[in-house]
Amino acid sequence: MDHDTAYKLIVEYLSQRFGVPLEKIKPDSRMFDDLGLDSIDALDMLALLDKQYKIKVNEEQARRIRTVEDAVGYVLANLPANPPSSR
């Protein structure tokens, strides 16, 4: 998965799951302050990524996610060597 694909995945998830307007989601948007998510929402997102893409949750790294770009970096850093198909 490349950066653009990971970004699109995060943006689509935030929009569909939490109803965040697409125009509000930018790489530097802060998950909690700008997009209105809370810590439970963030855990929900990580659980979905684990389920769909086998991205294991690293609690120390996950606590550092503050922006959309942080979430993209997290996804890219924690992808398994042979990720499952998304379809």
In a domain, 7, yes or no: yes
In a domain, 84, yes or no: no
Residue 45 CA from chain centroid, whole number: 6
Host domain of residue 37? 3-78
CATH number assigned to the domain comprising residue 17: 1.10.1200.10
In a domain, 85, yes or no: no
In a domain, 83, yes or no: no
- The reply to whether the predicted model has a pTM over 0.75 is yes
- pLDDT value of position 1: 86
Helix (H/G/I), strand (E/B), else coil: 67 = strand
Domains of the chain: total:
1
Give 19-60 pLDDT, tens digit per residue: 999 999 999 999 999 999 988 888 888 888 888 888 887 778
